Structure 1
Amino acid sequence: MSRVYNFCSGPAALPEAVLKKAQAEMLDWHGAGVSVMEMSHRSTEFMSILASAKARLMRLLDISDDYEVLFVQGGASTLFAQIPANLTNGFDSACYLDTGAWSTKAIKEAKKYTKVNVVASSKEQNYTTVPAFADLELDESAAYLHVCPNETIGGLEFADLPETNLPIIADLSSTILSRKIDVSKYGMIYAGAQKNVGPAGVVICIIRKDLLARCSDSLPTVWNFANLAANDSMINTPPTFAIYLADLVFEWLEEQGGVEAIEAVNIAKAKVLYDFIDASDFYANPIDPAYRSRMNVPFTLADASLESLFLEESEAAGLRTLAGHRSVGGMRASIYNAMPMAGIEALIQFMREFENRHAQGK
């Protein structure tokens, strides 16, 4: 069977060149005689992989020495709790901006550790837009401001950040390495790998070094950011194969011309798909055009009763995992870095043909 176009929101498609390189190195990594999955995480071989991954990521995002780069386990959902546990020590509260499902989950976990000040929410607008930053009710004495600049489920994304003296903590799981960002504007960035970086199992954390002083010794050892930094992410056995694949993805990104080059591709992909949806009476996107995600494109059909048929036929056409999240329904095309323009064109061709066959009056 030939490979399909995989529009899954995560675990998502990986670059084919990366998969082929991993396949070629599966049994014998660089003459070591073993797979990366088999080698000791303390070995010279794996230490070189870890060092390479960190160095490539720092180059790609232009990360200064003011930050530590960590590779941690547990998924971004674990970080929802781990962040307030580490960074609210000595503070009475933390600020959270609520822009969708993942913001809501982060808020729920943070409330177990500190008082949460929800500075604004677009819940009443069904998370189709972003609250005006000028109206945020920020408490400048709080520990930090948490934001989720891309809500994967809702397909909402924003690039600007609120003006504040608080450290900004950002869940960039869906956007990391897809667009240029100024890391210096953030106190901490965290991102689950399984969208733009690699397979599930590792979370990238980029944390400003001064924030590590907040981490309390009362925390579990493997949860303490300061301990993780001091031990180069290896308090215990890290997700070695996931880090290795992340390094291959970083290498692939460098070969594409870096983040600036891949961002140009992502802009073009998203524009083609949104333009098609907007020109159709059969398909619709519910998000405020100013905040449409480049990575996750939800859309609905004019006749919702056709959704099951759309998914059945698209799957048969080699267009995989187009169902929207179970909490919102509809359709969703996740078009991360590894999705080529050819995949977008194939999706649009299918959507056009489906509309021609099922639109009323045609």
Structure 2
Amino acid sequence: MKRHYNFSAGPATLPTEVMQQAADEMLDWHGSGMSVMEMSHRGKEFMSIYHDALQDLRDLMNIPSNYKILFMQGGAIAENAIIPMNLVGMKPQPATADYIHTGHWSGRSILDARKYCKVNIAATAETSHYTHVPARDTWKLSTDAAYVHICTNETIGGVEYHFTPDVGDVPLVADMSSQILSREVDVSRFGVIYGGAQKNIGPAGVTIVVVREDLLGHALPICPSAFDWKVVAENDSMFNTPPTYSIYIAGLVFKWLKRQGGVPAIEKVNIAKAALLYDYLDSTEFYRNPVAKDCRSRMNVPFSLHKESLNELFLDGAKERGLVQLKGHSSVGGMRASIYNAMPIEGVRALVDYMRDFEKQHG
């Protein structure tokens, strides 16, 4: 069987060898006579999987010892509410939180946060139609914010932070759903890092939360116990049944990433993949990428054809070549190539070759 090059934004492509290992272990994990899907989340078999995944993620991200790693559920969208419910209690009520609005997903975060606190939009990229990250010196931060929230990579718009903003002593909270493990990050500069796993980590179902310990224990009274970070941390993410199979696959991906040389090595590959695609886009007027060059995402590359009428023909031809899931998000149209860690550079080369051939035929 020949696997396609899958450019989906999420759930996204996974490393082939991880999928093969999971297939080999499906019915009998390490002689246990059980599938991971069937194991008790508190049994010794799954706990060994869980602790390995926990330590491997801590190693890969160089997470300091004063940070907790939580495996939660609900995706980044649930965390949009869970974050203010856990953090605004640090301040007298009604509390304020600062948000930087760079596109669709930060916008979704703002909408949910407004249910639990006053939101100050400290900076917005609205004037550029969300095609850039506002420069740090333009941000108008509150004097008493409970936290500052950013989305480090806008999956739909293809905008990425290539810097970590200095926000002083206020906790910096980052949705890293589509950027996590793709580049080196100094975790100590963040109060909270979170993200859905279904892009660079594994299948949908598990949400990663990395939270500094001093930020635990401030949940609002209305916060459900299963969403209270302190409760989840005290129970090693086992307060309720976690998404065990998703954690298992995530653990396999962590080990795969270690075999590639870790985050520094995969970042070099990601830089090369992104450069290959952007260099071609910049060389032609047949395709267009709208994002400011200094804010372009390495993970998600949106582009449009010079004639919208060619879109379906482009997608049909791509599928014939084994290049799938290239249709852009419905809110923006066009195309989008998501080139996460598991996308090999050969896949990006195949895409560029096809784009070049298509341009010759229809330009």
TM-score, length-scaled by structure 1: 0.98
- What letter matches 1:142 in structure 2? A
| Structure 1 residue 214: Cα displacement | 1.3
Partner SS, residue 214 of structure 1 = coil
Partner SS, residue 205 of structure 1 = strand
The match for 1:201 is 205
**Equivalent residue pairs, number:** 359
Aligned equivalents of 1:287, 1:323: Cα separation in 2: 17
Task: Report which stretch shifted further, 53-62 or 157-166.
Answer: 157-166
Aligned equivalents of 2:122, 2:143: Cα separation in 1: 11
| Structure 1 residue 196: Cα displacement | 0.1
- Aligned counterparts, 1:271-286, within 5 A: 271-286=275-290
Partner SS, residue 242 of structure 2 = coil
Structure 2 counterpart of 1:116, from 115, 119, 127: 119
| Structure 1 residue 216: Cα displacement | 3.8
1:139 aligns with 2:142: yes
Aligned equivalents of 1:220, 1:249: Cα separation in 2: 31
The match for 2:250 is 246
Aligned equivalents of 2:132, 2:73: Cα separation in 1: 32
- What letter matches 2:181 in structure 1? L
Aligned equivalents of 1:113, 1:327: Cα separation in 2: 27
The match for 2:332 is 328
| Structure 1 residue 281: Cα displacement | 1.6
- What letter matches 1:119 in structure 2? A
The match for 1:48 is 48
Aligned equivalents of 2:108, 2:315: Cα separation in 1: 28
| Structure 1 residue 166: Cα displacement | 0.9
Aligned equivalents of 1:135, 1:347: Cα separation in 2: 37
Partner SS, residue 117 of structure 1 = strand
Deviations 1:133-156 (A, max 9, x none): 112111131100000010000000
Deviations 1:36-57 (A, max 9, x none): 0001001000011110000000
Aligned equivalents of 2:242, 2:64: Cα separation in 1: 24
Task: Report which stretch shifted further, 126-135 or 166-175.
Answer: 126-135
- Contact 1:196–1:337 (8 Å) recurs in 2: yes
Runs (5+) with no aligned partner, structure 1: none
- Aligned counterparts, 1:304-343, within 5 A: 304-343=308-347
Aligned equivalents of 2:229, 2:90: Cα separation in 1: 16
| Structure 1 residue 161: Cα displacement | 2.4
Deviations 1:124-176 (A, max 9, x none): 11001111211211113110000001000000001212222210000000000
| Structure 1 residue 317: Cα displacement | 1.5
- Contact 1:175–1:196 (8 Å) recurs in 2: yes
1:35 aligns with 2:39: no
- Contact 1:217–1:224 (8 Å) recurs in 2: no
The match for 1:8 is 8
Aligned equivalents of 2:6, 2:119: Cα separation in 1: 37
Partner SS, residue 89 of structure 1 = helix
| Structure 1 residue 217: Cα displacement | 5.0
The match for 2:239 is 235
Aligned equivalents of 1:115, 1:147: Cα separation in 2: 16
Aligned equivalents of 2:221, 2:66: Cα separation in 1: 22
The match for 1:357 is 361
The match for 2:131 is 128
- Contact 2:217–2:229 (8 Å) recurs in 1: no
Runs (5+) with no aligned partner, structure 2: none
Aligned equivalents of 2:90, 2:241: Cα separation in 1: 31
The match for 1:347 is 351
- What letter matches 1:21 in structure 2? Q
Identity %: 54
Deviations 1:28-86 (A, max 9, x none): 00110000000100100001111000000000000111100000001110000110111
The match for 1:23 is 23
Partner SS, residue 54 of structure 1 = helix
- What letter matches 1:191 in structure 2? G
- Contact 1:95–1:118 (8 Å) recurs in 2: yes
Structure 1 counterpart of 2:154, from 151, 155, 165: 151
- What letter matches 2:310 in structure 1? L
Aligned equivalents of 1:220, 1:302: Cα separation in 2: 49
Aligned equivalents of 2:232, 2:308: Cα separation in 1: 48
TM-score, length-scaled by structure 2: 0.98
